[in-house]
Amino acid sequence: MRKIAVFMIVAFVAAASQAVLLMEESFENYAPGPLAGTPGAEAGQVGNWTLQGTAAAWDVGPGLDGGQGLVTVGTGGDGDIYIDLATPSAGGVIWVSYEVSTPRYGGHLYLSTSGGWGGAFGHGWNQTVTINNTTAPNNVPFPIDGTTLQLVEMIDYNTNEQRVWVNPVGPTLPVGTEDVYRVEGIGTDPTRLIIRNYNNDATYDNIRIGTTAFDVIPEPSTLALLGLAGLALVARKRK
C-alpha cells in the first residue's frame, strides 16, 4: 500500500511539474460593471479590454462559480471584446478552457486565442458545440437553458489540429476521445484572447490557457487522490 501511495504522489508531482499556466482570467479582480477599457488584471495580459464590432453589454457580474464572471447581453450582429496576450512560447501545443452558459440563442458565441477566428470554439450557428462552425462528429448539442458547460480545447500548432472536449472528467484527455475536431491554420502562439457574441445572452467564466490539460481543468478528483495517498502513508506509519 505504501508503494502505491508513493507512486501516486510521485506521478502527481511529475505531471504538475511539467505543466505551465500561461494565463487565467477568473473575472474576480475587477469592480462590477463594464469590462471595456479596464486594464487586464491577470498575468499574461497586455493593455485594456477593448470592444470591437457591433456594441453589446459586456459587464463583470455574477459568475458561474459563485463569484464574478463576464455577463454579456448580445445585440444583432457580431460583438467582440478582446485583450492582447503576452504569453511565452508554448512549444507547439496549448490547452484552453472556459465555462459558458446561455439562456438565449441568436447566433454564435466563441472564444479564440489566435488573434482571429481560426480555432475559435463554442456555440455555432447549428446550435452545437463547434470549432469555427465545424459540425461536431458526435453532434454535441449546446443547451440554451442556462446550463453551464466547460469546454476544453487542445491546439497543436505543428499540425494545425484542434480538438474540443465537452464537460471532460479529469485532466487526462487522450487524442481520439474529443467531441469536436478540425484542422485549420491558426498561427504559432496565443496572441489575443477574443470573446464573440452574436445576439446571445451569456455568461463566461474561468478562462485558462496552459501547456497541459492539468493547467486548465479543475482537479478535485486528483487532489482527493493525493489526499488519500497521504492518508495511506500515515496509516502505514501508525502500524
Question: What is the DSSP secondary-structure string of 63-131?
Answer: -SSSSEEEEEE--SS-EEEEEEE-PPP-TTEEEEEEEEEEEE-SS-EEEESBSSSTT-EEE-TTSBEEE
Q: Is the pLDDT of residue 235 over 60?
A: no
Q: Residue 221's pLDDT is what?
A: 43
User: Which residue type is seen at 195?
Assistant: I
Specify whether the CB–CB gap between 160 and 183 falls below 8 A.
yes
Q: Cα–chain-centroid distance for residue 57?
A: 21
pLDDT at 238 over 60: no
Model confidence at 68: pLDDT above 90? yes
CA dist 33 → 24, 36, 68, 100 (Å): 20, 9, 11, 19
Say if residue 226's pLDDT is above 70: no
Residue-level pLDDT at 208: 96
Mind listing the pLDDT tens digit for each residue in 75-121?
877 789 999 998 877 778 999 999 999 998 888 889 999 888 889 99
The rounded mean pLDDT for the chain is 83
For residue 181, name the pLDDT band (cuts at 50, 70, 90). very high
Asked if the model's pLDDT at residue 10 lies above 50, the reply is no
Which residue is it, cell 496509516?
235
Percent of the chain with pLDDT over 70: 82
